[in-house]
Amino acid sequence: MEPLRNRIVLITGASSGIGDASAGKFSNAGARLILAARRIDRLKKLASNLKTDCHLLQLDVRDREAVETAIAGLPDEWKDIDILVNNAGLARGLSKLHEGDHVHWEEMIDTNLKGLLYVSRAVIPGMVHRGRGHIINIGSIAGHEVYPNGNVYCATKHGVAALTTGMRIDLVDTPIRVSGIDPGMVETEFSLVRFSGDSEQAKKVYKGIVPLTGADIAETIVWVASRPEHVQVADLIILPNAQASAMVIHKED
Ligand code: NDP
Ligand code: 8X3
């Protein structure tokens, strides 16, 4: 795909799910990849199967100083990031707010909101300076609707939606594009993480429907990134066919 050939793409949360699948699709399109996540072994394995150059960052997006150091310390040939995919994120737990766990809240807020802010703050000035760039934020249907027991996760994804719009406003007088992609149910490690490794509970989430895959979302991300420069896809909601809204899901017995 010509528009992405030799473009430098930074993907956060590339060690699993949507981020991992996006690395594959961008690489197939000829892009060079900066892959970031905490699990470096996963990134090494992923990179060994990709067709194009990769630079790996073992990075916890919650650590502002580490994010700043990692971006400032990129080798010269990796500094000029063209596309930032702010994908790192997670849900922890599913409970009423008044019964919730503050450790879970902090992890979600620190990752989904503050992590996205830290990475964006470190990367966007270079894009502004070079007069080109594209930021693609992975939000969620949970950024449009609030569902029972989803309180804090939904709040973070509503926050991501606000930040996507805010970035688009702030960058309107530059050539930089800002897009938000908001999936419904995607079968990744998301539910395993939400339910602290309980694979039975995680599997139940997707039982009786055909959920989206990481590859479905990755294809959309690459499509958004490869539109002509004057086309800015603003926000996309993508759902499995059997999902009509966050809570209206048709499950076969
Ligand atoms: P996965 O759990 O499969 O992947 C999450 C990724 O985020 C992992 O690579 C993980 O890497 C990374 N990550 C988590 N915390 C951090 C951190 N502190 N620092 C750096 N990286 C981190 O889930 P998905 O692929 O499904 O999730 C990707 C995004 O999509 C998230 O923002 C999620 O909210 C969103 N989303 C998911 C949906 C779904 O149904 N699956 C639906 C809508 C949106 P590591 O642990 O190695 O650091
Ligand atoms: C992930 C999808 O519906 O579990 O953002 O919030 S949902």
Domain boundaries, the chain: 2-238
What's the pLDDT score for residue 253? 82
Catalytic annotation present for 153: yes
What's the pLDDT score for residue 2? 81
Percent of the chain predicted with pLDDT > 90: 99
Q: Could you give the angle at which helices 40-48 and 17-28 cross, rounded to 10 degrees?
A: 30
Domain spanning 2-238: which CATH class is it, in words? alpha beta
Protein residues with CB under 6 Å of any ligand 1 atom: 12-19, 37-39, 42, 59-62, 87-90, 111, 115, 138, 140, 183, 185-186, 188-190, 193, 214
Ligand 2 centre from 181 Cα, in Å? 13
pTM: 0.98
**What band does 72 get if pLDDT is binned at 50, 70 and 90?**
very high
For residue 130, what are its two tokens?
Answer: 């070079």
